[in-house]
Amino acid sequence: MCKVIMTDKPELASNFCNNVGLSLGITEPIIENLVHSFYIKVREDELIAPIFDNVIEGSWDEHLSRMCDFWSSIVLSTGRYKGQPLLKHINIPNLHKEHFLRWLSIFEENAYNTCSKEIADFFIDRARKIAQSLMLGIKFYNKELKIRN
Protein backbone atom coordinates (compact mmCIF):
# COMPACT_ATOMS: atom_id res chain seq x y z
CA MET A 1 0.00 0.00 0.00
CA CYS A 2 1.22 3.49 -0.83
CA LYS A 3 2.02 5.79 2.07
CA VAL A 4 0.93 9.35 1.30
CA ILE A 5 3.69 11.87 1.93
CA MET A 6 2.99 15.58 1.98
CA THR A 7 5.44 17.67 -0.03
CA ASP A 8 5.75 21.27 -1.13
CA LYS A 9 6.96 19.95 -4.50
CA PRO A 10 3.88 18.74 -6.41
CA GLU A 11 6.02 17.36 -9.23
CA LEU A 12 7.38 14.80 -6.77
CA ALA A 13 4.02 13.65 -5.41
CA SER A 14 3.35 11.14 -8.20
CA ASN A 15 6.76 9.53 -7.71
CA PHE A 16 6.45 8.81 -3.99
CA CYS A 17 4.28 5.71 -4.25
CA ASN A 18 6.52 3.99 -6.78
CA ASN A 19 9.91 5.25 -5.64
CA VAL A 20 12.15 2.47 -4.36
CA GLY A 21 14.73 4.93 -3.02
CA LEU A 22 12.16 6.64 -0.84
CA SER A 23 10.74 3.34 0.34
CA LEU A 24 14.25 2.31 1.43
CA GLY A 25 14.59 5.52 3.43
CA ILE A 26 17.09 7.27 1.18
CA THR A 27 17.24 10.98 1.95
CA GLU A 28 19.10 13.96 0.56
CA PRO A 29 21.57 13.89 3.50
CA ILE A 30 22.33 10.22 2.76
CA ILE A 31 23.01 11.12 -0.88
CA GLU A 32 25.19 14.07 0.08
CA ASN A 33 27.21 11.99 2.53
CA LEU A 34 27.68 9.20 -0.03
CA VAL A 35 28.71 11.57 -2.83
CA HIS A 36 31.08 13.71 -0.75
CA SER A 37 32.80 10.77 0.97
CA PHE A 38 33.10 8.94 -2.36
CA TYR A 39 34.83 11.83 -4.09
CA ILE A 40 37.29 12.23 -1.22
CA LYS A 41 38.45 8.71 -2.08
CA VAL A 42 38.36 9.37 -5.84
CA ARG A 43 40.64 12.40 -5.42
CA GLU A 44 43.18 10.16 -3.64
CA ASP A 45 43.12 7.32 -6.18
CA GLU A 46 46.19 7.02 -8.40
CA LEU A 47 44.30 5.66 -11.39
CA ILE A 48 41.24 7.87 -11.65
CA ALA A 49 42.17 11.04 -9.74
CA PRO A 50 44.17 12.43 -12.70
CA ILE A 51 41.18 12.00 -15.03
CA PHE A 52 38.86 13.82 -12.65
CA ASP A 53 41.43 16.55 -12.02
CA ASN A 54 41.83 17.18 -15.75
CA VAL A 55 38.09 17.36 -16.37
CA ILE A 56 36.97 19.19 -13.25
CA GLU A 57 39.88 21.66 -13.26
CA GLY A 58 39.45 22.68 -9.63
CA SER A 59 35.66 23.10 -9.75
CA TRP A 60 35.05 20.40 -7.16
CA ASP A 61 32.24 22.20 -5.33
CA GLU A 62 30.30 22.55 -8.58
CA HIS A 63 30.97 18.90 -9.47
CA LEU A 64 29.86 17.65 -6.05
CA SER A 65 26.67 19.68 -6.26
CA ARG A 66 25.98 18.31 -9.75
CA MET A 67 26.61 14.74 -8.57
CA CYS A 68 24.24 15.19 -5.62
CA ASP A 69 21.62 16.40 -8.11
CA PHE A 70 22.40 13.42 -10.36
CA TRP A 71 22.02 10.83 -7.61
CA SER A 72 18.93 12.56 -6.23
CA SER A 73 17.39 12.26 -9.68
CA ILE A 74 18.41 8.62 -9.98
CA VAL A 75 17.32 7.33 -6.58
CA LEU A 76 14.58 9.78 -5.55
CA SER A 77 13.24 10.76 -8.98
CA THR A 78 13.59 14.46 -8.15
CA GLY A 79 14.49 15.47 -11.69
CA ARG A 80 17.11 17.92 -10.42
CA TYR A 81 19.84 16.71 -12.77
CA LYS A 82 19.40 18.00 -16.31
CA GLY A 83 22.70 16.95 -17.92
CA GLN A 84 23.69 14.32 -20.46
CA PRO A 85 26.25 12.03 -18.81
CA LEU A 86 27.18 10.14 -21.96
CA LEU A 87 28.09 13.31 -23.84
CA LYS A 88 30.25 14.42 -20.91
CA HIS A 89 32.09 11.09 -20.78
CA ILE A 90 32.57 10.67 -24.53
CA ASN A 91 34.73 13.78 -24.56
CA ILE A 92 37.12 12.57 -21.85
CA PRO A 93 40.35 11.43 -23.52
CA ASN A 94 41.75 8.01 -22.64
CA LEU A 95 38.76 6.93 -20.58
CA HIS A 96 38.69 3.14 -20.53
CA LYS A 97 36.92 0.20 -18.92
CA GLU A 98 39.61 -0.04 -16.22
CA HIS A 99 38.70 3.47 -15.06
CA PHE A 100 35.02 2.60 -14.77
CA LEU A 101 35.85 -0.60 -12.90
CA ARG A 102 38.00 1.33 -10.44
CA TRP A 103 35.24 3.94 -10.07
CA LEU A 104 32.79 1.13 -9.29
CA SER A 105 35.15 -0.51 -6.82
CA ILE A 106 35.59 2.71 -4.87
CA PHE A 107 31.86 3.46 -5.08
CA GLU A 108 30.88 0.02 -3.79
CA GLU A 109 33.29 0.14 -0.87
CA ASN A 110 32.16 3.64 0.02
CA ALA A 111 28.45 2.78 -0.24
CA TYR A 112 28.84 -0.13 2.17
CA ASN A 113 30.84 2.07 4.56
CA THR A 114 28.34 4.95 4.56
CA CYS A 115 24.92 3.33 4.09
CA SER A 116 22.93 0.41 5.39
CA LYS A 117 23.41 -2.76 3.36
CA GLU A 118 19.98 -2.44 1.75
CA ILE A 119 20.56 1.16 0.70
CA ALA A 120 24.12 0.43 -0.42
CA ASP A 121 22.91 -2.48 -2.56
CA PHE A 122 20.38 -0.17 -4.23
CA PHE A 123 22.97 2.54 -4.97
CA ILE A 124 25.45 -0.07 -6.24
CA ASP A 125 22.87 -1.63 -8.55
CA ARG A 126 22.21 1.79 -10.07
CA ALA A 127 25.94 2.61 -10.28
CA ARG A 128 26.68 -0.65 -12.12
CA LYS A 129 23.90 0.04 -14.63
CA ILE A 130 25.15 3.59 -15.16
CA ALA A 131 28.76 2.46 -15.64
CA GLN A 132 27.67 -0.28 -18.07
CA SER A 133 25.58 2.18 -20.05
CA LEU A 134 28.41 4.71 -20.25
CA MET A 135 30.95 2.08 -21.27
CA LEU A 136 28.65 0.78 -24.02
CA GLY A 137 27.91 4.31 -25.22
CA ILE A 138 31.58 5.22 -25.39
CA LYS A 139 32.42 1.96 -27.17
CA PHE A 140 29.66 2.56 -29.73
CA TYR A 141 30.69 6.18 -30.24
CA ASN A 142 34.36 5.27 -30.74
CA LYS A 143 33.47 2.58 -33.30
CA GLU A 144 31.30 5.09 -35.17
CA LEU A 145 34.21 7.52 -35.31
CA LYS A 146 36.52 4.86 -36.73
CA ILE A 147 33.99 3.90 -39.40
CA ARG A 148 33.72 7.46 -40.64
CA ASN A 149 37.47 8.04 -40.89
- So where are the chain's domains? 26-148
pLDDT at 33: 98
Range among 1-15, 23-37, 50-64, 93-107 rated most confident: 23-37
Nearby residues of 78 by Cβ (< 8 Å), 6 or more positions away: 9, 12, 69, 72
Read off the amino acid at residue 86.
L
d(C-alpha 105, C-alpha 123), whole Å? 13
Q: State the average pLDDT for the chain.
A: 86
DSSP state of 93: T
| CATH fold label, 26-148 | Globin-like (1.10.490)
pLDDT band at 51 (very low <50, low <70, confident <90, very high): very high
DSSP letters of 106-148?
HHHHHHHHHS-HHHHHHHHHHHHHHHHHHHHHHHHHHHHHHHH
φ/ψ (deg, to 5) at 107: -60, -45
pLDDT at 19: 85
First to last CA, the chain: 56
pLDDT band at 88 (very low <50, low <70, confident <90, very high): confident
Mean pLDDT (whole number) for 89-118:
93
